Amino acid sequence: MASRRQPPQPEQSQEPAPSVAVELNDADALPLLREAEVVGGQRIPWSSNYTFLVRLDAGPGKHLRAVYKPRDGERPLYDFPDGSLYKREYTAYLLSRELGWPKVPLTLIRDGPYGVGAMQLYIDTDHRITYFDMIGDNEEQLRKFAVFDLLANNADRKGGHCLLDRNGTIWSIDHGLTFHPLFKLRTVMLEFWGTDIPDDLVAGLDELSGRMSTNGELAGTLKDLLSEGEVTALRRRLDQILSEPVIPQLDTHDNVPWPLE
């Protein structure tokens, strides 16, 4: 077995030469996110795992910002397999693209300064604005997040994991604690507990169910990223939602994360 690199220390980050951050659409950002050299960055200090805001070389005097979560910086957890969180980040992104909701920033798996990990396009937002500030005016958009979390079995939907960009788009981030085979849902979205899932979202889930049964590439990708038991549990949750399209009434003691943001 190949040895794993030691988790990085914050003081090892090196400042790059001055450059200007560029914002690109997904098509233009994809080749840079996949292959561009990491030319600098810094650790995001409030993350429980080693997470870095990095700069990817985008040409002379320019860089693209991305969030890099290396496998070897993941804190061991008693209930999730070691070194698997970065794969769950990527799986959540793929699933959101299959459904068309919620909006998850472009994410892929690649090598970086501290080894393989998830690399996600950085979304420029005001991080002081969280779910609790948005729910009043964005109930229908955020309902998609709640349904997605039920499907992905998201064990860590905090208020700060919903980001509002300057164009009014709400983004879903931090999906490392997802796809556990046992029910682990923990969320601050109490407003949706016990509510029906709208017909248009059920239709999207039904289409996903069909693709998971017939699309060999999608099925193969899921098997590469998750364990057999996790894929089976995902399929079972999807079937359950389709048979009873309701977000369940959960328990405020067991099914709410801490801290809330």
Q: C-alpha distances in angstroms, 192 versus 78, 141, 144, 236, 246?
A: 29, 12, 10, 21, 9
User: Which residue range is the domain that position 51 belongs to?
Assistant: 10-243
Label residue 7 by pLDDT band (50, 70, 90): low
Structurally, how many domains does the chain consist of? Answer: 1
pLDDT score of 1: 44
86 and 51 in contact (C-beta within 8 Å)?
Answer: no
Within a domain: 5: no
Within a domain: 2: no
Within a domain: 260: no
- What are 126-185's pLDDT values in tens digits? 989 999 999 999 999 999 999 999 999 999 999 999 999 999 999 999 999 999 999 999
Within a domain: 1: no
Using a cut of 0.95, tell me whether the model's pTM lies above it.
Answer: no
pLDDT score of 215: 75
Per-residue pLDDT averaged across 66-72, rounded?
Answer: 98
- What are 240-255's pLDDT values in tens digits? 999 999 999 999 999 9
pLDDT score of 12: 53
Within a domain: 175: yes
Within a domain: 252: no
Q: What number of CA atoms fall less than 13 Å from residue 131's CA on the CB side? A: 23
Per-residue pLDDT averaged across 105-114, rounded?
Answer: 97
Within a domain: 108: yes
Within a domain: 258: no
